[in-house]
Amino acid sequence: MMNVTYRPAHMIPWELQELFYEMDKYFYDYDSARVIGRLFGKEYGRRRWGLALYARLGVWGAHFCADHIKGSVYYDLKHFDESRRDMDGTVTSVIRVKTDRDTERRSDMERKLMKDELKHKDTQIA
C-alpha cells in the first residue's frame, strides 16, 4: 500500500512518493471512518479507522527510513541522483538497486545454507 511502482517522466521518484502519501492521508482520514461507521456499521468504521492509523504510521515510518536508514529503498528514493535520468528524461528505476541487493543477499544465504548442509552431512557420516 505504501509503494509507488510508476516511473515518472518529469519528477524524481521521491516527489511521486510524497504525492502518494498525501493522497493516502486524504483518502484514509478519521472523518471518513466516522461516516463509514454511520453508513455501514461500527465494524466497518473501526476498520477504516485502523486503515487511517496505519496510513499515518506508515508515512511516518517511510519518512524515518528515508532520512536515517541508509540502504533502505526509501533512503534511495529520497536521495536519488539526478544523473540517473535517461536520455529521454525518464528516471532509471531505483527498484533495480533493491533487486541487485536482494540478489546478493539471496546468493549469500544460499551459500551459507549449502555450507550448513555439508556440515550437517559430514556430522551424520561420522
CB-side exposure of 90: number of CA atoms within 13 Å? 5
Instruction: Write out pLDDT tens, residues 73-100.
Output: 788 878 876 655 554 555 555 444 445 5
Any residues with CB less than 8 A from the CB of 38 and at least 6 apart, and which?
45
Per-residue model confidence (pLDDT) at position 92: 52
Instruction: Provide the whole-model pTM.
Output: 0.52
Instruction: Write out pLDDT tens, residues 9-38.
Output: 787 778 888 888 888 888 888 898 999 999
